[in-house]
Amino acid sequence: MQVKRLLSTVTVTGPDVAVDLTGGGKAQISIFLTMDRTDFAFTGAGTTPSKARFAPGQYDCTATILAFDHNAVGIDYSGAINVGGNCVATTQGELPAAKADGRVIGFTLEVK
């Protein structure tokens, strides 16, 4: 799986921070995002919009993106992580012969 991390630091105006996790394709996709001690999770197709409150500061963030064939109707997948209206990372591809793939990325959230 190739994940394109588009931003290593995301700067937003707080305290409310919008988080959109998006998946698509015929394979199953799961996205797990941890921002400081706040967790977001998404599995399937479509978009899961969420919001969280953060005080001004910098926060370490970790995202895990998985694609797999459990109950899937095909092998193609796509996914995206948007924070504060900024696209942080995207992925798109097809499952390998192992029928599962995943990647972990990190970035910094800066809330002003």
pLDDT per residue as tens digits for the range 46-85: 999 999 999 999 999 999 999 999 888 889 999 999 999 9
**pLDDT-derived band at 5, boundaries 50, 70, 90:** very high
Q: What is the CATH number of the domain that holds 74?
A: 2.60.40
Answer whether 77's CB lies under 8 Å from 44's CB: no
Tally of domains within the chain: 1
pLDDT at 53: 96
**Amino acid identity for residue 58 in this structure:** Q
Q: Is this prediction's pTM over 0.85?
A: yes
Question: What is the domain range of residue 61?
Answer: 3-111
Helix (H) or strand (E) holding 47: strand 46-53
